[in-house]
Amino acid sequence: MEQRRTVVREVNLTAESERRACRWLGFHRSAVRYVAIEREGEARLRKRLRELADEKPRWGSPMLTWRLRREGFRDNHKRIRRLYRLEGLAVKRRRKKRVAQPRAPLPRSSRPNEEWAMDFVRDTLCSGQAFRALTIVDTCTRESPAIEVDVSLPGDRVVAVLESLSITRGLPERIVVDNGPEFHSKALDAKKYG
């Protein structure tokens, strides 16, 4: 649209009227004269969108929309996607798998209940049916406060196990997890454990 306006302005410089220039070029005058108005709160939305995209560089427009809605923004997903594109925040395609941030050695836990490690283990029964086990281990004492076994263990079940542990034992200062999809669920993100 900006290119059309530029063409009409250049034709206007040659002493033609805007009406005649638009008629010759086949443009509507209202489109050429249109001035975009920034909506209320758009600057705040753009700023928060950039912050979230910096914080979560692999999240696309749908996940950022979900996060903004959770924070109280009531904007339409189409508006958020438009601003996402205007800000140039599109997720780049991965070429090679590289570490996003340099790894730093984790501090060792020196007392019980300071740090837990969570992971999933998968095995198969003699009937051929697969099952999974959520294992939680205290990294200092190597004690296992909980092991949850089932055929399916979605994020809601992980939250339920952590909730029951918080009542009976209390939660640690840190929880170390791998990069598995079970720990990237919306249920776990809403609780902010560790």
Q: For the chain (length 194 residues), average pLDDT per consecutive 10?
A: 71 72 80 74 89 90 92 90 88 69 74 88 90 90 90 86 89 81 68 56
Total domain count, the chain: 3
Q: Which domain holds residue 127?
A: 115-191
DSSP H or E run through 153: none
146 and 162 in contact (C-beta within 8 Å)?
no
Residues 134 and 187 in one domain: yes
Residue 133 CA to residue 126 CA, distance in Å, equals: 16
Residues 123 and 141 in one domain: yes
Vertex 158, ends 133 and 120: CA angle to 5°? Answer: 30
Crossing angle for the helix pair 2-13 and 18-25, nearest 10 degrees? Answer: 120
Residues 119 and 149 in one domain: yes
Q: Which amino acid is at 109?
A: S
Residues 128 and 171 in one domain: yes
Residues 81 and 133 in one domain: no
Assess if residue 124 is contained within a domain.
yes
pLDDT tens digits, 17-62: 778 778 777 888 887 777 777 677 788 999 999 999 999 888 899 9
Assess if residue 75 is contained within a domain.
yes
